[in-house]
Every structure is written in structure tokens, then in C-alpha cells.
Amino acid sequence: MDSSAETPFAFTPPATEPNIAFKRTRRSDPTPQRPTFIRRLRRLRRRRPLRRRHVAIAAGLTLALLAGAGWVGFDGWRAAGNLRTAAALVGTLRQQVLVGDLPGARGTLRVLQREAGAAHERTSGVVWRSAGLLPGVGDDLVAARTLAATLADLTDNGIPPLLDAAEALTGGGLTPAVGTIDVGVLSHAAESLATGVDVVNRSTDRIAAVPTGGLAADVRTAISQLDGGLSKLSGMLAPIERVTRLLPAVLGADAPRRYLMLFQNNAEVRATGGMPGAFVVVEANRGAVSIVNQGSAAGALQVFDQPVLPLDPDAEDLYSERLGTYPADINLTPDFPTAARLAREMYRVRTGMLVDGVIATDPVALSYLLAAIGPVQMPSGPPLTADSAVRLLLSQVYAGTMTSAQQDAYFATAARATFEALTRRPGDPRGLAAPLMRAVTERRLLFWSADADEQQALAGTRLEGTLPADDGAKPGVGLFLNDGSGAKLGYYLTQSAEITTGDCTDDRRRELRVKVTLGSSAPGSGLSKSVLGLGLSGDPYTVRTNLMVFSPTGGSIADASIDGASAPIGSGFERGRQVAVVTIDLPPGTRKTLSVTLLTGTLPTVDTPVTPVVWTTPGVSPWRTAITPGKPCDK
């Protein structure tokens, strides 16, 4: 060790004692000196043991630190092993929860608690804390102690209630038993979720507060990984917790509720997924759910002479009055709350019934659920299965000789049969969690509540079905589709997107380059009149699609082209975003690519990476998307 290096416990010896002189006197001296001498001698004697104690203390501390450094190194090595094991177990536990193996997750949690607890114990002693004052390695030791303490808190206080909630929800909380959902189980699950989310948020704040600039690479990596994992977990749990908290009231725990459920037909694409076709009205009363009415948007709601509600001027400019007069066009806008309010009012005008909310889903989401509950028998024809539902409902129904009325009747029968199977068929409820989550993630299951407080609680979730009012540091790009053929050719539509983050501007904006490729797999002949529809593109086999590109909030659109050539572009605004509208015609077997350059709004910072977020119309086939983040810009 370099003897010149500073130590936090350096000891400076006292200055040399001065000589003490005294005058020898006789006993008979009238000015006695002994008491003065004695007092001085006693003071001197008191000082010497004190100095010896100072030296002893300093030496002891130095030896303790030297010994402790070895102890910290050895125990740190063991703690690092605990943390590495815990990290692997976290991945195992996550996978077990995703596949519904909650008993296995409980067993993994017990081992995880032991490993995290051991790491916490080995990094929380007095010597470790003292070593945290050492220059060079102190910050690493403090960070390791924070890491271990956070994991211990998570495994002891955060994960157990989250598993309790998962068991409650997958053990029957989300699945009706003979048509009834146990709202008491849901309430218990909501409380457990809230407890777990609080711990996750506390842990997120604790790790985010650790300074990482001067840490060793392995410690910095561990902190960064936990920070990223906690952020993802917090982002995933927050909307689940809010929705679970709402569910008892939504399911009529306090008073009966009625909801208009729309089935979107992806074969005739609309911005939120597909043209509203069949619908059912569902009543929920203390968890008991039943169908009280059903019909079709075209047959029961028909067309209105004027918009049923005042339209936002920007939305009316983009979509015309059809948004508020044609039930099939309420979701030309990607903003589901707007579409839901219009559907609710249309249903009220026609029936006199004012529902408490609106739900939307599609046949693709139905196919996900059928994979969990099994086939649904139809009165005539083949059953609906996970593999056949999309093909039957979006293609084969139109390919045959059914009239429009017969098609509506078939969709109504399919809706009721599926509802009955979901609410009354016994089965393993754990299998429903994953398909439901997938449907929500892909925006194939949307919900709007007429209760303002409930709707506010949904803000920011994918269930809400709306673009954020403010993107913040993550610029959002919307890519939405509306059919322009008046046909059911959307079944053959394919779509992909590439978004590349470009340069920075002087006013803290970023350039985004967007490429959207649409393709048609439609045949060149042999389709029925029901599929070809109105043939508004001229050639009945050509798929005409109106593609809308929404800029980030506060952003703008710079230029656009199709396959490298300039193209006519319509433009407008909606909810603080500029919108480019391009009509793309696709003959059978062709593809076309729209390239658009966007500018974001002013971003909060320029010294952090930028990763755009993309919002798309759920299609029959999934989108293929690729996003290239942008590096930080110089200040």
C-alpha cells in the first residue's frame, strides 16, 4: 500500500510536552508550591493515558479497516454470488407467472427470498457500511448494498402480494362461474396488487436515485439492469392495478351496469380495427353477466340525418359529418372515446336505453380466447375454433351465398354462442389471462366508461384506445388505416412499418423517418359480390386504403412520397397532432411504400436516447414493425 495515500482515519500525534519547572521550597515556606505541582502532575498523568487511548483507537480502526477490507472482499464475493443467483431466479419466476405455473412460482420465490436475504445480510453490517466511506470502492459498496436491500424488499414485500393477486385473478377472479364473476375476489386482488405496486414503485425510486457515473462496470450494469426491469414491471403493473381496482364497480358491485359491446369487422378496416358490425348489450349485476339485447349497427342503428353529438371541428374536417351520422364510420378516428360516445348516443336515440359504457373487440381477439376455452359449436356449419374463427367470420361468411340479413344473423349467433361459452363453460381460468393480455396489448379490446372518474383511471392504458395528449420524452407516431373500397378486401391486407430516429434541430426537436408498406394478397378473380362490395377503387379487386400518419404531439410533417415519387397528400389535425392522409390503391399481389419525414415537438432533454413509440390499426394480419432509436444529441 502507498504510505502517502490518504486514509479517512489519519492520526496526528500531539505536540511534544513542554518542560515543567517548579521551585523547590521548604515546608515552612509561607507560599506553598506543592499543591500547584500536584495539580500539574495530576493533569499530566491524566493526559498521557488519554493520548495512549487516542493512539490505540486510531491503530484499532486502521487494523479493523484492513481486516474489514478482506472481510468485505470475501463477503462481497459471496453476496455477488447470491445476487447472480437471484437474477437468474427472477427470470425463472417471470416465465412461470407468464405460463400460469403459480405453484412453481411460489417455490422459486422461496429460494429467491433466501438468496436476496443472504445478499442483504452480507452487505448491511457495520464493517460494510464503514468500508463504504473508503475512496475508490466506497461508492460501489454503497450501490451493492442498495441493490441487495432493494431485492430483499421486493422478494419479501412486493412479489408475494403480486402472486396473491395473480392467483386470485387466474383462480376465478376473471372467469364467471355459471355466468357470475366473484367481485369479492376481484376486490381482494385489487388490494394485493396495490400493495405490490407500492413496493415496486418504492424500489424503482430507490434504484433510480443511485449515482452510477463513478461505479465499476459490473456494478453499474447490475444497477442499470434492475432499473430497466423495475421500470418495465412498474409500467406493466400500473394499468393492471388500475383496471382491477375498477372491475368490481364496472361489474355492478354497487348498482347494475349495462354496456354496448361492438364487434369490429377487420375485413372492412377502420382506424380502431374494423367497421362496427354486430353488437350485444350486456348487463352486469353484482358480477352476474347476461345479454339483454343484440343486433347489427347497419340494421338496428341505421343512418342519422345529422351528427348525434357535436363533432370536434378538427375531426369533422378530417372525416366529415359521417363520423356522427353513419354507425359504420364512428371509428374513422383512432380515438376510441370519441367513437364510443357516438355509438352510445346512437344507441340511445334508437332504443331509449342509455348504457354505462362501450366495449369493442374483434374476431382476432376472439380467436385468442378460443385457444383457451376450446371450440364453440354453431347451430349450423363448422364450429368456431382458434384456427378457424378469423377465416370463418372475416372471409368465408362473405364468400358464400348468404344474403346481408343472413350474414347478420350468423354474426349474432356467433356472438351469443361465444359469450355463453366464455361466461358459463367450466375450464381452467389461468388460460384466459394470457389471451386477454394479448388482446389488450394489441388494442383489440377497448373500453370506455361514461363515469368520468372511471374513465380518468383508464388514462394512459391501452384499454382506453387513445393517443396520449402529450408524448413527453417518447415521441409517438400513429399509423392508422381506413377502407376506401367499400368492400371486405381488408382480409387480404398486409402492413409493415419502419421508423428511424434522425438528426436533432437547434430547438430540441428530432427528425423521424417513417416507411409504411401496404400489400395485397387478394386473388385476381373468383371473389363474391359480398367481398367485392362497392368497388370504389374502380377495379373491384383493387384494395383502396386511406393511410393516416399522425405526427408526435406538437410535431409536424415535412414531406412524403410513394415508392420514391411525390404523391397527393391531405392534411389535417387531431388532438394536437398533424395528420397526413394518403390514398393507396393496391391491385392483387402488389405492394407500395409510403415514406414520410416527421418532426417531433420540442423534447424535454437532448442528452438521453430517443426511442419512438408506434400506434397502429389492429389488422387481420399483424404489423411487422422495426424502430431504430436515436442517440443523445449534444447540448
* Structure confidence by residue, pLDDT tens digits, 557-572: 988 999 999 888 899 9
pLDDT value of residue 42: 46
pLDDT of residue 170 exceeding 80, the answer is no
Provide mean pLDDT across the span 73-92. Answer: 70
pLDDT of residue 59: 38
Q: Evaluate whether 94 touches 122 at the Cβ level (below 8 Å).
A: no
Look at residue 130 in the predicted model and tell me its pLDDT. Answer: 59
Q: What is the pLDDT of residues 141-159, one digit of tens each?
A: 788 788 888 889 999 999 9
Fold for the domain defined by 467-628: Immunoglobulin-like (2.60.40)
Question: What pLDDT does 56 receive?
Answer: 44
pLDDT for the residue numbered 607: 74
Least confident range from 72-86, 262-276, 561-575: namely: 72-86
137 contacts 218 by C-beta, under 8 angstroms: no
Q: What is the pLDDT of residue 634?
A: 65
How many percent of the chain have pLDDT more than 90? 50
Averaged pLDDT of the chain = 83
- Residues whose CB falls within 8 Å of the CB of residue 598, separated by 6 or more in sequence, listed in order: 477, 511, 512, 513, 514, 549, 551, 552, 555, 556, 557, 558
CATH no. of 257-456: 3.40.630
Count of beta carbons in the 10 Å neighbourhood of residue 509: 22
Query: Sorting pLDDT into bands at 50, 70 and 90, what band is 99?
Result: confident
Q: State residue 309's pLDDT score.
A: 98
> Would you state the pLDDT for residue 100?
73
Mean pLDDT of 51-55: 44
Is residue 628 very low, low, confident or very high in pLDDT (cuts 50, 70, 90)?
very high
Predicted confidence at residue 4, as pLDDT, reads 40
Report the pLDDT value the prediction gives residue 140, as an integer from 0 to 100: 73
Residue 60 is predicted with a pLDDT of 38
Burial of 618 (0-12, 13-18, 19+ CB in 10 A): buried
User: What sign does the dihedral 233-190-425-288 (CA atoms) show?
Assistant: negative
Would you say the C-alpha torsion 434, 440, 446, 448 has a positive or negative sign?
positive
Determine whether 317 is exposed, middle or buried from the number of CB atoms within 10 Å of its CB (0-12, 13-18, 19+).
middle
Interatomic CA distance for residues 55 and 33, integer angstroms: 33
pLDDT at 20: 32
pLDDT, one tens digit per residue, over 216-255 is 777 777 778 778 778 878 877 888 888 888 989 999 999 9
Tens digits of residue pLDDT in 461-501: 889 999 999 998 889 999 999 999 999 999 999 999 999 99
